[in-house]
Amino acid sequence: MDTKYIFVTGGVVSSLGKGIISASIGKLLQARGYKVTIQKFDPYINIDPGTLNPYEHGECYVTEDGMETDLDLGHYERFTGIHTTRHNSITTGRIYKAVIDRERRGDYLGKTIQVVPHITDEIKRRMLRSPLPTFCPPSLTLPNCSASNRQLPRGEETYSPNHPPLGGQEGGLDFVITEVGGTIGDIESAPFMEAIRQLRWQLGRDAVCVHLTYVPYLKAADELKTKPTQHSVKELQGMGIQPDILVLRTERHLDDAMRLKVAGFCNVDLECVVQSEDMPSIYEVPVNMQKQGLDAAILRKIGIPVGETPAMKPWRDFLEKQRNAKRELHIGLVGKYDLQDAYKSIRESLNLAGIYNDVKAKIHFINSEEVTKENIAEKLDGMAGIVICPGFGQRGIEGKIIAAEYTRTHDIPTFGICLGMQMMVIEFARNVLGYQDANSAEMNPDTPHNVIDIMEEQKNITQMGGTMRLGAYECELKEGSRAYEAYRPTPDPSRDGGELLIKERHRHRYEFNNKYKEEYEAAGMKCVGINPAADLVEIVEIPEKRWYIGAQFHPEYSSTVLHPHPLFMSFVKTCLNG
Ligand code: GLN
């Protein structure tokens, strides 16, 4: 089957959950046996969200191939289990950079470089995931998909030369789902809308536009209002895009008359007006969408026989477990970003591990900036375990160190992730090894006891964007360690000689300083996960504690609904047996 394209746009307000709807569509099509991928196009100018403060845009998610991306990619992976890549997260900045780099190379010599066609063509190429030149059916002679594109060289933009060009490596996708960030009417998303308009026209039935809007409920009038949806669709139509399917986000049930009204005013078939009511959990959304026939409507629009509705047994079994998980498990999240989305993947990983252990993880944010030696006992009161969060810079680190000391000395299960692991290491140096001034070179480059030091390969790097140690690297686990036991139930063909080889994703510049390794091990903190290529310490643990493990990598990025991460599973299990 030729690849089909689904475009997901949003209107009326932001934060409607386009990412969840896109991930749900992906899940539903996957359940029907189709090969799918989901990609996000963000209209901001940053090359990637790697340099963004989490307060601006929530968590920065990292793909296996080392792209720093929007947190929606986390939803895509958690829902579908697919591995996204750098081709699944595109920004306006990346589009412009690719075009400007080519212009500087002289590839367009003689041409005036313009938003239309050059920027829109670059957007289209990436939406289609095709290598250059841009897709252009011979029968169509749109001026903007001709000469200028055909002359372009193959290849990704120059800042990531180590990665394969678009397309080619993934062949055989049945569906490419493209979510466009922002809200219809934003000035900055106009080129993306124009690209969708052109593709819709060129691809005919091979493309479907799904538009997500909001139907507010006015309490005083006791009425649901469809006018914002009508306006949003008009705006889309004004840009030449007729949505095929409308997903109406609503807090109240919409009756058929209401849906009919929307259908009539928006030129959309009644069966293509789907409602997405608030659900107790985002993981209920795919089955709710299936119940309303969203996937069937998409297939019908494209002209594919709908066939039987898949049972989605594993997913439904998970939902059943989720509904039954009533007992609460209190976990403290020690971090500096007082914002739900800042630690999105960690929260979801804890939720998922909780559900598989038949409990509801109640996550309590503990602001590390407010933690003191005096109040730590009170702050952690009632917590079955804590996660010490990743992060950058000085702010809030002393609170993380105080928390690490308290949980170590009180034997409370503790999971340090990236900076969290580094803080566990520093705490141990200060309070066990006796190096009062121990620190990370990140916080104090002149610290005499730099137990966390800058990685060799990072020393000469001056540019901030995309230059950390990013993506998946191997790690060998020491037999008999708690980390090893946590991973062991997963049969891994790469197991060899009593050691387990795992692969986890990273995002850091600093590392455990191997100079101190023997001292740590002698004093009881063991280095139980090592990257074989660089001899870099990836996991530390104190075996005599119930669960005191720090990971330099980010296990939260690879925890999915059907495959919760073994470290989170093991951590939650220990917290439960308190
Ligand atoms: N700031 C630390 C480093 O760069 C930790 C990074 C993180 O927590 N993601 O090594």
Q: How does pLDDT run across 308-354, given as a tens digit for each residue? A: 999 999 999 999 999 999 999 999 999 999 888 999 999 999 999 99
Q: What angle do CA 475, 400, 526 make, to 5 degrees?
A: 35
Atom 6 of ligand 1: nearest residue by CA position: 508
Please check whether residue 419 is in contact with residue 391, taking contact to mean a CB–CB distance below 8 angstroms.
Answer: yes
**Domains in the chain, CATH or no CATH each:** 4-302 (3.40.50.300), 325-576 (3.40.50.880)
Residue 154 is predicted with a pLDDT of 36
261 CA to centre of own chain: 36
The Cα–Cα gap between 237 and 316 comes to 38
CA–centroid distance, residue 104 to ligand 1 (Å):
35
Q: What is the set of active-site residues? A: 418, 554, 556
**pLDDT higher than 70, residue 276:** yes
> Ligand 1 pocket, 391 CB below 6 A?
yes
pLDDT in tens, 435-473: 999 999 999 999 999 999 998 888 888 888 888 999 999
> What is the position in ligand 1's atom list of the atom closest to the CA of 442?
1
Please check whether residue 465 is in contact with residue 48, taking contact to mean a CB–CB distance below 8 angstroms.
Answer: yes
What phi and psi values does residue 452 have, to the nearest 5 degrees? -115, 125
The Cα–Cα gap between 500 and 526 comes to 16
Question: Is the pTM value of this prediction over 0.95?
Answer: no
Task: Tally the C-alpha atoms within 13 A of residue 391's C-alpha that lie toward its C-beta.
Answer: 28
Tokens of 278: 């608030």
Tokens of 58: 């929530």
pLDDT in tens, 134-189: 444 433 334 344 333 333 333 344 333 333 334 434 568 999 999 999 999 999 99
**pLDDT higher than 50, residue 111:** yes
> Ligand 1 pocket, 476 CB below 6 A?
no
CA–centroid distance, residue 448 to ligand 1 (Å):
20
CA–centroid distance, residue 418 to ligand 1 (Å):
6
Strand partners, 217: 224
Pairing of strands 360-367, 328-335: parallel
353 CA to centre of own chain: 17
pLDDT in tens, 23-74: 999 999 999 999 999 999 999 999 988 888 888 888 999 999 999 999 999 9
